Structure 1
Amino acid sequence: MPELTDSPDTTDATAEIAEIAEEVLEAPADAPVQKTFADFGIRPEIAGALAEAGITHPFPIQAMTLPVALSRHDIIGQAKTGTGKTLGFGLPLLEHVVAPDEDGFSSLPAPGKPQALVIVPTRELAVQVAKDLETASRRRAVRVLQVYGGRAYEPQVEALSRGVEVVVGTPGRMIDLMNQGHLDLTRARTVVLDEADEMLDLGFLPDVEKLLARTPATRHTMLFSATMPGAVVAMARRYMTQPTHIRATDPDDDGATLKAIKQVVYRAHALDKVEMLARILQARGRGLTIVFARTKRTAAKVADELATRGFASGAIHGDLGQGAREQALRAFRTGKIDVLVATDVAARGIDVDDVTHVVNYQCPEDEKTYLHRTGRTGRAGKTGTAVTFVDWDDIPRWGLIDKALDLGYPEPVETYSSSPHLFSDLDIPEGTRGTLPKESRTRAGLEAETLEDLGETGKKVTRQRTDRGRDERGDGGRGRGPGHRGE
């Protein structure tokens, strides 16, 4: 099976990074690490909290990052999602935060003002990063606040007024809170930029630079990105001081390869695609599955159709409020549902390690989108399966993707839900039909997950643009449409 390599339109900025980096460190992404977190000198409270969660040994990117970051040296971390980078930056961040009940808090220049800032491109990633930080700091009184659009301002403003140590959020909402005088970044001694290339794609780098400009010049800065486009390198040059460049690489590749993923590509017929999908979802060994659609309408329709066929499914797309999106994500992570139908933008930042299958219900827009979608499986040393449906009209588009990535599938084989090769390729039991048998309907379902009242703002206000370069709301995560400055 051919490997997936990085998109050719991504700038190879290794030489440029070398000009500003003081040192370059590389580690195989799947190399075993013998040391425990405690061996790296992490606070006993943090190491103990991780151990309670079953986390004792770091991933390679964490083992490489910890000694450098704990010494407060700037870092450019090059690693794709799923390599464990959150704890790589999160543990050093927490190590240098002083909680309200700890020695030294009262002597801080401004107790209760944010001491650390994590800037992420999407709401979903903000939730995931904050959750990981809260897990690691469970034995301490560190206050972690999530700020992003789609949630009401008031609780975020109230939390900031009471005092927080760590703020995790999207650029748009952070800018708004900062401009209104609620978010004070002048005491943020640690700043993390996570998935910087995604923020570039979404057009958020100008907002990120505004935030950086309001933090102390002596801050500790860590930037993480799967790829290093020129604009990201230029930002690192402006805002970082002699950073160490750390790369989590796979053996014999350039660090962007996605391995251990079985890829199959079928030319499918529109009226038969749901039936094909329903049979694929009954393959032996299938676990959590993400189904990607290009449009919000298709995502909603497919999720509803699967539900009527007995599958525990949910959807995330731009026409859903933040509460409904978080409900679906929680249900997916906890296994109440095992099929999540998503648009590309809504799925940004989803970080779930146990995804066994990815299905491209509609052909991706380009090779980069294909890589992002397919990379949701085969993570953390596990194997995965990626299935792509190509409509007749999308054959030329698929040809460009296949050529760019050298996948070896220039002409997808015409496939129906009854095709024998569909069953043999994906290990679908013979005789499987497109409705899940009642005895197999064992998951609790989406309704079993609580739908929280988030006091949502800007819900389905003006989502005009869904083109590449902006999020589905077009507002940088602020959570409202034009003309709603006060929200």
Structure 2
Amino acid sequence: MTLPVALSGTDVIGQAKTGTGKTLGFGLPLLERVTVPVDVEAGRAKPEQLTDTPQALVVVPTRELCTQVTNDLLTAGKVRNVRVLAIYGGRAYEPQVEALKKGVDVVVGTPGRLLDLAGQKKLNLSHVKALVLDEADEMLDLGFLPDVEKIIQLLPAKRQTMLFSATMPGAVIGLARRYMSQPTHIRATSPDDQGATVANITQRVYRAHSMDKPEMVSRILQAEGRGLAMIFCRTKRTAADIAEQLARRGFASGAVHGDLGQGAREQALRAFRNGKVDVLVCTDVAARGIDVEGVTHVINYQSPEDEKTYLHRIGRTGRAGATGTAVTLVDWDDIPRWQLINKALDLDFNDPVETYSTSEHLFEELGIPAGTKGVLPRAERTRAGLDAEEVEDLGETGGRGARSASRTKPLEQAERPVRTRTPRQRRRTRGGTPLDETAAVETAAVTPVEEADEAPRTPRRRRRTRAGAGAAVETAEAAPAVQTAEIVEAADEPAKPRRRRTRSVAAKAAETVGPAETVEAVETVADEPAKPRRRRTRAKAATQPES
């Protein structure tokens, strides 16, 4: 339905269910509008129409979809030798810039990297004849609308514009009214398939407990006739955790989510396409446009956010006329969200059946052999696994490449930066002067006579507490004369403040030492400079004897 309208140069809004061939619906008209050297040789075009700048632009929301659309267009344009280039973030700039310098006919890219290269004057969009926005509603949901508008402003005013998506909300129609000229809205449906979902997908919805979900998924993956399977999670952390748990249970699993570097994401997708991995755990970055042959099961580990996400998730199976099974596990907390999705899509699962990994109806409805456990038997572990697929060095930007690459090799083999700066040596000083210079100055200033007369340096005396005062009194009983002499000598030192003894201590000292010596010691202490004194309360004064 799209081809005759798009080939005539008319603006098109294409809407069709997932897996019905939208990529070639806009890809073939794009390839026909591009002028290549073969057309000049055949006499269909003039030599001056040839150019090395892009003649067609396809904007997609995700990196995975970008590579897939590029591969499809390369396959379709192989006979005419059309040059197609994928431009997306997460990998080095240099190969993309070199390819643009050599000449490109069709560019497929994500909004961020397209704007980046256009701002650097590396990407010239002034000769674009046709623009395609694939999965237009997803670009609006991800906040790409300002970037898409900036890209459109860089294009010629006279061009063909096409929008394609499985779901077409009102915001996309508003975008079409602003930037399209009398578009033709084509909505392709089969007469016997009036629902929003594809009829040949068997849908199952169960109410499941979060702690029992890994066991349920492990048993569902052992159903009869299961081929490749995709498991969708709502968060990146959950996707990484489930992929790790399934690997421990014996399944060949890989993960695709935003925390992985681009090399690791492409490694997992390549291993999945090649059959080395048969279980792909991913977030919604892989829910749009990913087309892999042989996907028989899609499992929604967590309830999707809305009905559009649900449609795109389960649309990874049952593609191009094949059959598939979609299983959704709904938590108790997600029942209200699921009921909204159920109502929007007019499904029959308003109240999902409470299901556990041991429920009989789970085994019967999904064709799971009786007695299946949550660990894959060793005899069935025939896949090569994720490690069999090499990680491609993409020269990743943003620091993620190094992090994802370091995960693939042991810690001791990870490269560490060479230390080039000599560590600063700390020198001990006294008042800003090094200790060795201070000691030399003091040694030169002291004469031999002064050295002889100089008294040895007395160690710093610790201030006594009340508990220590009692111990001092006991010592004074053993050596009263020496103790009193030490007190007098200490009183002669001006720079060392000393705690004043209370009357009770003085009284005890008077009992132990002679009265004359006690008076002398107390007078010496009283001659010290005034010091704030702690005032006694009446209760303490009444209990203590007066001296």
TM-score interval for Structure 1 and Structure 2 normalised by the shorter chain? 0.7 to 0.9
Partner of 2:461: none
Give a deviation string over 1:409-459, Cα, whole Å, max 9, x none: 233222221221111010001111111122222222222222111111124
Over 3 Å counting, the alpha-carbon distance change for 1:394 and 1:74 in structure 2 is closer
User: Which of the residues 218, 221, 234 maps onto 2:161?
Assistant: 221
Between 126-135 and 363-372, the greater mean CA deviation after superposition: 363-372
Q: 2:139 aligned with 1:202, yes or no?
A: no
8 Å Cα contact 1:112-1:165 kept in structure 2: yes
8 Å Cα contact 1:247-1:255 kept in structure 2: no
Post-superposition shift, 1:98? 2.5
Partner of 1:163: 103
Q: Comparing both structures, which one devotes a greater share of its residues to helix?
A: 2
8 Å Cα contact 2:90-2:262 kept in structure 1: yes
Post-superposition shift, 1:74? 2.0
Partner of 1:342: 282
User: Which of the residues 254, 273, 281 maps onto 2:221?
Assistant: 281
Over 3 Å counting, the alpha-carbon distance change for 1:255 and 1:220 in structure 2 is farther
User: Which of the residues 229, 232, 238 maps onto 2:172?
Assistant: 232
Give, as a single letter, the amino acid of the residue that structure 1 aligns with 2:56. Answer: A
Computing the radius of gyration over CA atoms, which structure comes out larger, 1 or 2? Answer: 2
Q: 2:317 aligned with 1:380, yes or no?
A: no
User: Which of the residues 376, 384, 389 maps onto 1:444?
Assistant: 384
Q: 2:130 aligned with 1:193, yes or no?
A: no
8 Å Cα contact 1:226-1:256 kept in structure 2: no
Between 259-268 and 172-181, the greater mean CA deviation after superposition: 259-268
8 Å Cα contact 1:353-1:380 kept in structure 2: no
Equivalents in 2 of 1:404, 1:92: separation in Å? 34
Over 3 Å counting, the alpha-carbon distance change for 1:271 and 1:199 in structure 2 is same
Partner of 2:181: 241
Equivalents in 2 of 1:271, 1:114: separation in Å? 52
8 Å Cα contact 2:193-2:199 kept in structure 1: no
Equivalents in 2 of 1:404, 1:239: separation in Å? 29
Q: 2:16 aligned with 1:76, yes or no?
A: no
Post-superposition shift, 1:345? 3.2
Give a deviation string over 1:285-311, Cα, whole Å, max 9, x none: 111111011111110111111112221
Equivalents in 1 of 2:124, 2:195: separation in Å? 37
Write the mapping of 1:22-421 to structure 2, written as runs, cut at 5 A. Answer: 64-100=1-37, 103=40, 107-108=47-48, 111-251=51-191, 256-421=196-361
How much identity, in percent, do the aligned residues show? Answer: 71
8 Å Cα contact 1:150-1:459 kept in structure 2: no
Equivalents in 2 of 1:196, 1:397: separation in Å? 24
Secondary structure of 2:336's aligned partner: helix
Equivalents in 1 of 2:51, 2:129: separation in Å? 13
Secondary structure of 1:396's aligned partner: helix
Post-superposition shift, 1:100? 4.5
Post-superposition shift, 1:111? 1.8
Equivalenced residues, count: 398
Equivalents in 2 of 1:347, 1:151: separation in Å? 22
Equivalents in 1 of 2:114, 2:194: separation in Å? 34
8 Å Cα contact 2:252-2:277 kept in structure 1: yes
Post-superposition shift, 1:101? 5.8
Give a deviation string over 1:357-399, Cα, whole Å, max 9, x none: 1111122223332222222222222222111112233233333
Equivalents in 2 of 1:153, 1:208: separation in Å? 21
- 1 or 2 for the larger relative contact order (CA 8 Å, sep ≥6)? 1
Give a deviation string over 1:170-205, Cα, whole Å, max 9, x none: 111111111111111111112111111111111212
Between 371-380 and 106-115, the greater mean CA deviation after superposition: 106-115
Equivalents in 2 of 1:131, 1:255: separation in Å? 31
8 Å Cα contact 2:35-2:50 kept in structure 1: no
Structure 1 stretches of 4+ moved >4 Å: 252-255
Partner of 1:26: none
Post-superposition shift, 1:328? 1.0
Give, as a single letter, the amino acid of the residue that structure 2 aligns with 1:206. Answer: P
8 Å Cα contact 1:361-1:388 kept in structure 2: yes
Equivalents in 2 of 1:254, 1:184: separation in Å? 44
Post-superposition shift, 1:129? 0.4
Over 3 Å counting, the alpha-carbon distance change for 1:69 and 1:320 in structure 2 is same
Give a deviation string over 1:42-75, Cα, whole Å, max 9, x none: xxxxxxxxxxxxxxxxxxxxxx222222222222
Equivalents in 2 of 1:416, 1:254: separation in Å? 33
Secondary structure of 1:283's aligned partner: coil
Equivalents in 2 of 1:68, 1:394: separation in Å? 43
Partner of 1:7: none
Give a deviation string over 1:303-332, Cα, whole Å, max 9, x none: 111112221111101110011111111111
Secondary structure of 1:185's aligned partner: coil
8 Å Cα contact 1:287-1:356 kept in structure 2: yes
Q: What's the Cα RMSD here?
A: 2.1
Between 396-405 and 132-141, the greater mean CA deviation after superposition: 396-405
Partner of 2:437: none
8 Å Cα contact 2:167-2:308 kept in structure 1: no
TM-score by length of 1: 0.77
Equivalents in 2 of 1:401, 1:256: separation in Å? 12
Give a deviation string over 1:144-169, Cα, whole Å, max 9, x none: 11011111111111111121111001
Over 3 Å counting, the alpha-carbon distance change for 1:174 and 1:439 in structure 2 is same
Post-superposition shift, 1:346? 4.5
Over 3 Å counting, the alpha-carbon distance change for 1:254 and 1:426 in structure 2 is closer
8 Å Cα contact 1:336-1:448 kept in structure 2: yes
Equivalents in 2 of 1:255, 1:67: separation in Å? 26
Post-superposition shift, 1:106? 8.0
Equivalents in 1 of 2:266, 2:142: separation in Å? 21
Secondary structure of 2:191's aligned partner: coil
Over 3 Å counting, the alpha-carbon distance change for 1:422 and 1:253 in structure 2 is closer
Equivalents in 1 of 2:249, 2:339: separation in Å? 33
TM-score by length of 2: 0.69
Post-superposition shift, 1:127? 0.6
Over 3 Å counting, the alpha-carbon distance change for 1:224 and 1:266 in structure 2 is same
8 Å Cα contact 2:19-2:318 kept in structure 1: no
Give, as a single letter, the amino acid of the residue that structure 2 aligns with 1:116. Answer: A
